[in-house]
Chain A
């Protein structure tokens, strides 16, 4: 079910539909340009595409609030990546164990079900109280948001492995680890990658929220801080940058899925 909601239907990725999608984006950009060029909206509320590009260039040359643009981007990417690696490692381990040991799953499932529907931002204050406002607390928040979808995806991947495949490889003399290596992990890979895409999406939104608190670096910080000075062009530049990275990650994962995971 996760897969259905996240994967584009085959029709949507057909070439003609892709062209339509690109045309739609172009139309949006054109409308934006028209509105600003005609002077219908003040630049304070909506700067023109050119102004946003200029802001990007300025950010690139001069940085923002004492840090270069690169270091803002790097700070955000590092937080996201740290949370991603931690959630991937822990979700894989726990998900495998839960998928293979029904009793463990029976114990832990209720916890997961309890935490999963909670919006991570709801417990952000709690994390601040418990773990302070340092870097670890930020990564923890992002981690907590990315972990549940990955865990659920891993469990569903492990439990839907065809029994006949497991039996076949066992009959070839495989031990438990060899079963995991040759049957369970590859079999769980498709839902896992889909879970990863969902996780990354949630991770980005929590990243921006995490950077609201006590930081001087990061794209989320840049956007928030610029908003306070009504520097709308910088706000939009930050959003464009996040979109570029988020889309890049999404497309990269989708490419991986198509290139290497042809079974499903």
Chain B
């Protein structure tokens, strides 16, 4: 599996006179089986970072390497899951799911096979022919996740993927994500403003503030490994250490303007 490294990233927005720095001197590394969670308030620059890492936005300075090789634009090796599922309403569920394979020139037969496999894996086995607008929010988000994973990228970057979902669906999605990630050993980077989500999923957690984006705290966590090892979600989130960390992070989180701070929905 591959290693992604970003070095000395710089990015600023706005006209020359009043450029707002978003990223400054940012270094980051992501390897197989890692789940790096970026926790921070809205507007701190974490989505910009994700776009730069995904190759969707060129940094002003700095470089991104995959296994030592410099990359510039998106190349299909870094799958992205978006906050709003960003599915294509002119394709049905199965065709959305396998679009990445189609872009790579895979034939109809292989695509159908892949669609069947993935739809079963995300619990949507009979919904392949559904239109996107006939799916629930949770189903759309599962489909967005499967679409990004179907091309077997080396890394998966997720931008608040579950923010729009209700609490129960959200928890199911988190478990599904862990389940899928464990099988494929991708390096995961997930953005969230939910403290509980961050604690539960992260193998490494960065508490952010900004802009410009600044890492206030880094911590290594093992709650997701405990879940993968078989411990139920309920036991993990009621663990006193989980609760204590949750309180600690909530208090440490810089308050975003005009929004309640990031408690899990």
- The CA of A174 and the CA of B147, in the complex, are separated in Å by 13
> Is there contact, CB below 8 Å, between A263 and B151?
no
Residues of A within 8 A of B80 (CB): 167-168, 171
**Partner-contacting stretch, out of B4-12, B97-105, B228-236:** B97-105
Chain A residues contacting B87 (CB-CB under 8 Å) are 168
Bound CA–CA A193/B104 (angstroms): 30
Q: How many residues of B contact A (CB 8 A)?
A: 30
Q: Is B76 an interface residue (CB 8 A)?
A: yes
- B76–A263 CB distance below 8 A: no
A172–B54 touching, CB < 8 Å: no
Given contacts A173-B75, A173-B76, A263-B133, contact A168 B103 (CB under 8 A): no
How far, in angstroms, from A143 to B160 measured CA to CA in the complex? 49
Cβ-Cβ contact count across A and B, 8 Å cutoff: 67
B100 to chain A, nearest CB (A): 4
Are A167's CB and B86's CB within 8 A? yes
Q: How large is the interface on A (under 10, 10 to 19, 20 to 34, 35 or more residues)?
A: 20 to 34
Please classify the interface of chain B as helix (H, G, I), strand (E, B), loop, or mixed, using the class held by over half of its residues.
loop
A180, CB-defined interface residue at 8 Å:
no
Q: Nearest Cβ in chain B — how far from A163, in angstroms?
A: 9
State whether A171 and B131 are in contact (beta carbons under 8 Å apart), knowing that A164-B84, A165-B86 are contacts in the complex.
no
A178-B103, A262-B131, A263-B133 given; A170·B86 CB < 8 A: no
Flag whether A45 is at the interface (Cβ < 8 A).
Answer: no
Give the distance to chain A from B149, nearest Cβ to Cβ, in Å.
Answer: 11
A172 touches B133 (CB 8 A): no
Q: What is the minimal beta-carbon distance from B108 to any residue of chain A, in angstroms?
A: 16
For B65, the chain A residues whose CB sits under 8 A away are none
Q: A170-B73, A172-B79, A173-B104 are in contact. List 16 more A-B contacts (CB 8 A).
A: A164-B83, A165-B88, A167-B51, A167-B54, A167-B56, A167-B82, A168-B82, A170-B56, A172-B147, A172-B148, A182-B88, A182-B103, A186-B88, A187-B90, A262-B89, A262-B133
Q: Using a CB–CB distance below 8 Å, which chain B residues touch chain A? A: 51, 54-56, 73-76, 78-80, 82-84, 86-90, 99-100, 103-104, 131-133, 144, 147-148, 151
Which residues of A line the B interface, CB within 8 A? 162, 164-165, 167-174, 178, 182-183, 186-187, 189, 261-263
Q: List 24 A-B contacts (CB under 8 A).
A: A162-B86, A164-B86, A167-B51, A167-B54, A167-B82, A167-B86, A168-B80, A168-B86, A170-B74, A171-B55, A171-B78, A172-B76, A172-B79, A172-B99, A172-B151, A173-B74, A173-B100, A182-B88, A182-B103, A186-B90, A189-B90, A262-B131, A262-B133, A263-B133
